[in-house]
């Protein structure tokens, strides 16, 4: 998985390992965090690999390492992501550099990861790619205009790839609302509480809420592909 060193990725790694998977925790700059995640996983055979979303060559090297160690990939979780909090009316604040960075990590990176691991996924004959998306893809409300647009692009890309790479690979997006991870720089706890209060179920989501949805998509929803699973306490209503 990409982005496995913290937050949703780390929680998902734990759930998958608990279910019996051999987990490869991909990281960008958080090698020590990734190693700490692996050390706490149940089972054995887990490892870490650098998987920077900006670097397609490095992703290909990661795929080669996984092929040597495991021979195939049954589950690929694209959990790596980035954002920057910019008010939607502040068009000048959303610079080209910020926009491009968000798209490189949130859209091009997941595509490059699927491209790098395609042969290993196809070798499984029953593989699933889970993209960690957001309800911002459909609501257009989130940390920045670019973030919302990037998650919409991720969902659309998942639908395209679900058609193109069927029947051996399924694609599912898991789409939470705000999750208590520290993902959005500068977002205070009171903002999360306000977010939860505005949702019908009035619950602050934690990373494990998303992780169990990922596990369900992998283990139980065998006919789900090219679709989104919303995990938002009804925030979209």
Instruction: Tell me the catalytic residues.
Output: 147
Query: Distance between CA atoms of 159 and 38, rounded to whole angstroms?
Result: 31
User: Are the CB atoms for 85 and 186 separated by under 8 Å?
Assistant: yes
Query: Distance between CA atoms of 134 and 180, rounded to whole angstroms?
Result: 14
Query: Distance between CA atoms of 184 and 178, rounded to whole angstroms?
Result: 9
User: Are the CB atoms for 213 and 174 separated by under 8 Å?
Assistant: yes
Is residue 157 classed as helix, strand or coil in its secondary structure?
A: helix
Its sign, for the CA torsion 101, 103, 109, 110, is positive
């Amino acid at each position: 998985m990409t982005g496995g060193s913290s937050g949703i990725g780390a929680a998902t790694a734990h759930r998958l390992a608990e279910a019996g998977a051999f987990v490869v925790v991909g990281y960008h700059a958080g090698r020590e965090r990734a190693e700490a995640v692996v050390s706490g996983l149940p089972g054995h055979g887990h490892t870490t690999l650098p998987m920077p979303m900006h670097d397609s060559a490095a992703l290909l090297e990661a795929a080669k390492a996984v092929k040597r160690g495991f021979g195939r990939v049954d589950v690929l979780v694209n959990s790596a992501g980035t954002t920057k909090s910019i008010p939607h009316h502040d068009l000048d604040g959303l610079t080209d550099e910020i926009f491009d960075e968000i798209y490189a990590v949130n859209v091009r990176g997941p595509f490059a990861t699927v491209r790098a691991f395609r042969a290993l996924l196809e070798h499984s004959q029953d593989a699933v790619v889970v993209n960690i998306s957001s309800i911002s893809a459909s609501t257009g409300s989130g940390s920045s205009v670019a973030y919302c647009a990037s998650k919409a692009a991720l969902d659309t890309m998942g639908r395209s790839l679900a058609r193109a790479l069927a029947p051996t690979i399924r694609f599912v997006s898991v789409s939470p609302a705000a999750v208590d991870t520290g993902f959005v720089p500068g977002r205070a706890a009171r903002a999360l509480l306000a977010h939860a209060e505005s949702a019908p179920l009035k619950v602050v989501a934690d990373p494990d809420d998303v992780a169990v949805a990922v596990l369900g998509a992998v283990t139980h929803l065998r006919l789900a592909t090219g679709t989104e699973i919303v995990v938002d306490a009804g925030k979209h209503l």
